[in-house]
Amino acid sequence: MVNTKVNLSGLVLDNPVIPASGTFGFGYEFADIYDINILGSISCKGTTKEPRFGNPTPRIAECTEGLINSVGLQNPGVDKVISEELPKLSKVYKKPVIANISGFSVDDYAYSCQKINDCEQVGIIEVNVSCPNVHNGGMSFGTSAKSAYEVTKAVKSVTTKPVYIKLSPNVTDIAEIAKACEDAGADGISLINTLLGMKIDLKTRKPVIANKMGGFSGPAIFPVAVRMIYQVYEAVKIPIIGMGGVSSARDVIEIMLAGATAVQVGAANLVDPFACKKIIEDLPDVMQKYGIADISEIIGGSH
């Protein structure tokens, strides 16, 4: 019998498999097709201070070994997430969840994180710093070590729960940014978010996505994710939630060997709503195949 449990900043998960934010709604939508309590946790849909309608359509484009999305953080706003979405989820999911928070200024992040911090069912706050900083020309907070530090510091000053900063891969030195977050008090790092991609329709000769560019995810970005997680593991001493093109139990093992304590599954959920369920069911067999008795013992095992 293998042990699939992992400890994420004091939160003990039955297994390391977590649906990634933006690919699993608020979780309860999937409860009709299987028992979602088999999941390690759920990273809920990205939440902002105010409600957001999102970007114009088309928002999704299929690509070779992946897809591009530009949904634009469509969500009902933090107040409704707390009053409506999380209570709906609590009826069908009995474990702590990960609240994913986005913002367009440091004050936005602090406001939403402080509010969500009071929710009992939230075990970890995941702060997405891939959003454009409206006070700095629209550049993402996650592309600057200084900006990432400022957001982390602000959020940590108003929260008591573990804070994980979700980093953008669209940078030159991801390890430097991860270190800045650790220095500011982050409890953990989530990576990688999507790469910036684009697809052009050969008939119309125009971009397929209304916003022209969007986040590229799927199996094609998996080697990039493994590389960046490996680099960040060498740079920081805090735990990592790894993601980026994960679609199998073998991928979970590989990304944990690179340095992840837990693993999020994103685009695979959009291709197959049973993706996480299948990965969790396959994990014990894959562990046995590679002589792994306790999955937590392989974290960073490739270093």
Q: Cite the active site residues.
A: 131
225 within 8 A of 242, measured Cβ to Cβ: yes
